[in-house]
């Protein structure tokens, strides 16, 4: 198993226990579960039914973003609606054209629902249920040819229909269903109109009911197994996380930044870490759940200079940026020199809401040969974080 895949699955198991996977796979529904707290908002679970439907293996799906199922004719407006729902951390339902691994398109009803931490109200996961939509040909565009009637006049139409069928959406199942429901004297059905692949396709009430039932079943499983680990989840936010919560949208935006950094909450006592980048976890050897909620001083050790620690404390108190070289320690006890830059991050009202700390191991000339200097790399991270927080504040003020 690849290290990234193993790490993602381990993160899921820590929240719900390894038994949850087996219980979820017993459900007949087609669905995925994503984690907005991980860089790239990847899929962390895909049901066996879903994998069979799209033709991918588990290894090809876990760790990937859901956009791998989109294609040239997927409606961009529908995709934006999904992104907006993620940003606003709300449930939504929409018809969407997706693609299987072999390239064949299919319409589905996509219903998404956030899963909240019962402890602090943060969004832990998004559940996405996919119900294939059975396309129903419009009767106004169909002619039923009965036994005993001459088909010569339709020969040209039939030939044309065969030649262009490769451009149609795969809807043979719908045709067969209609054929079985017709009179025994029905011989064939011809569509007088081209059914374009990007033509809107609405789900039936039955398909909508099926999607809603699937969401309820999945959330029941997740709620039950989160109780076994003590990391309780719920469908509705039971409380507001401090500072209005670090939303899924901000998590996703921060996940695009590839440098080692943490974000701490300036409005909470002891300024706990509310976001840690993948690069930071790799540098320090800690898992994400071992870092979130702690003050950054856990990286200090016996030989960390108290004077440097005091300098950091004074800068934070004055809400001013600072750059230091400090001896820190990894989870395994090994030490490393950390070229650290700390900067305040203000919200839309101008109040310092966070502090961002960017870490670069060591500080030597080699870093300058890799493009930007360490100082410029750190300032670029500060700028990216400020843009992400500003975007979140603007979104909150307009929603």
pLDDT of 26-37, one tens digit each? 999 999 999 988
Any idea which of 212-216, 271-275, 309-313 has the lowest mean pLDDT?
271-275
What gap in Å lies between CA 294 and CA 236, rounded to an integer? Answer: 26
Question: Is 80 exceeded by the pLDDT of residue 177?
Answer: no
- What are φ and ψ of residue 63, in 5° steps? 95, -10
Of the pLDDT bands very low, low, confident and very high (cuts 50, 70, 90), residue 6 is confident
Beta bridge partners of 189: 144
**Domains in the chain with CATH codes:** 3-133+201-234 (3.30.450.20), 139-191 (no CATH), 242-398 (3.30.450.20)
Packed helices 248-255 and 374-398: angle between N→C axes, nearest 10 degrees: 160
Going by pLDDT thresholds of 50, 70 and 90, the confidence category of residue 269 is confident
Q: How confident is the model at residue 51 (pLDDT cuts 50, 70, 90)?
A: very high
Kindly list the distances between the CA atom of residue 267 and the CA atoms of 240, 253, 270, 309, 351, in Å, as whole numbers in the listed order. 14, 21, 9, 20, 10
Which of residues 11 and 242 earns the better pLDDT score? 11
Let me know: does 107 contact 202? Beta carbons within 8 Å.
no
Closest CA to 325 of 314, 315, 336: 336
Distance CA 353, CA 189 (A): 65
d(CA 271, CA 294): 8
Q: Which of 140, 200, 210, 145 is nearest to 169 (CA)?
A: 200
Mean pLDDT of 240-255: 65
Give the total residue count for the chain: 399
pLDDT of residue 300 exceeding 60, the answer is yes
- At residue 115, the pLDDT reads 93
pLDDT band at 136 (very low <50, low <70, confident <90, very high): low
What is the chain's mean pLDDT, rounded? 79
Of the pLDDT bands very low, low, confident and very high (cuts 50, 70, 90), residue 371 is low
- pLDDT for the residue 105: 94
| Residue 361 in tokens | 């191991």
What lies within 8 Å, CB to CB, of 167 at 6+ separation is 194, 197
* Structural tokens at position 151: 């088909």
Q: Which token pair is 15?
A: 């929240």
C-beta of residue 157 within 8 angstroms of C-beta of residue 142: no
Q: Name residue 98's beta-bridge partners.
A: 106
Q: Is the pLDDT reported for residue 321 higher than 90?
A: yes
pLDDT attached to residue 169: 40
Return the HEC string of the chain: CCHHHHHHHHHHHHHHCCHHHHHHHCCCCCEEEECCCCCCCCEEEECHHHHHHHCCCHHHHCCCCHHHHCCCCCCHHHHHHHHHHHHHCCCEEEEEEEECCCCCEEEEEEEEEEEEECCCCCEEEEEEEEEECCCCCCHHHEEEEECCCCCHHHHHHHHHHHHHHHHCCCCHHHHHHHHHHCCCCEEEEEECCCCCCCCCCCCCHHHHHHHHHHHHHHHHHHHHHHHHHCCCEECCCCCCCHHHCCCHHHHHHHHCCCCCEEEEECCCCCCCEEEECHHHHHHHCCCHHHHCCCCHHHHCCCCCCHHHHHHHHHHHHCCCCEEEEEEEECCCCCEEEEEEEEEEEECCCCCEEEEEEEEEECCCHHHHCCCCCHHHHHHHHHHHHHHHHHHHHHHHHHC
pTM: 0.56
Q: What is the mean pLDDT of residues 179-194?
A: 37
């Amino acid at each position: 198993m690849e290290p990234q895949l193993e790490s993602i699955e381990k993160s899921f198991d820590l929240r719900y226990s390894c038994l949850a996977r087996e219980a979820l796979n017993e459900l007949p529904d087609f669905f995925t579960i994503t984690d907005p707290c991980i860089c790239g908002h990847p899929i962390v679970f895909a049901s066996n039914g879903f994998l069979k439907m799209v033709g991918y293996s588990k290894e090809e799906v876990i760790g990937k973003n859901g956009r791998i199922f989109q294609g040239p004719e997927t409606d961009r407006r529908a995709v934006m609606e999904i992104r907006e729902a993620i940003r606003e951390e709300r449930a939504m339902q929409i018809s969407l054209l997706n693609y299987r691994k072999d390239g064949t398109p299919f319409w589905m009803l996509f219903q998404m629902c956030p899963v909240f931490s019962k402890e602090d109200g943060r969004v832990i996961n998004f559940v996405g249920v996919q119900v294939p939509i059975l396309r129903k040909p419009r009767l106004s565009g169909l002619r039923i040819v009965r036994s005993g009637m001459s088909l010569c006049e339709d020969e040209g139409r039939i030939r044309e229909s065969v030649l262009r069928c490769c451009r149609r959406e795969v809807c043979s199942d719908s045709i067969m269903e209609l054929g079985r429901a017709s009179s025994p004297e029905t011989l064939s059905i011809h569509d007088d109109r081209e059914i374009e692949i990007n033509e809107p396709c609405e789900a039936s009430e039955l398909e909508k009911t099926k999607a809603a039932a699937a969401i309820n079943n999945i959330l029941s499983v997740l709620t039950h197994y989160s109780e076994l680990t003590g990391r309780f989840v719920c469908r509705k936010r039971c409380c507001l996380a401090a500072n209005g919560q670090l939303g899924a949208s901000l998590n996703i935006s921060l996940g695009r930044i590839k440098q080692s950094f943490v974000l701490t909450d300036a409005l909470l006592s002891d300024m706990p870490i509310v976001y840690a980048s993948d690069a930071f976890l790799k540098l320090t050897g800690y898992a994400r759940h071992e870092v979130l909620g702690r003050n950054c001083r856990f990286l200090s050790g016996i030989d960390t200079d108290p004077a440097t620690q005091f300098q950091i404390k004074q800068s934070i108190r004055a809400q001013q940026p600072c750059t230091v070289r400090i001896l820190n320690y990894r989870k395994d006890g090994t030490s490393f020199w950390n070229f650290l830059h700390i900067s305040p991050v203000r919200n839309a009202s101008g109040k310092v809401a966070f502090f961002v700390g960017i870490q670069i191991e060591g500080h030597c000339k080699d870093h300058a040969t890799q493009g930007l200097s360490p100082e410029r790399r750190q300032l670029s991270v500060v700028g990216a974080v400020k843009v992400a927080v500003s975007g979140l504040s603007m979104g909150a003020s307009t929603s």
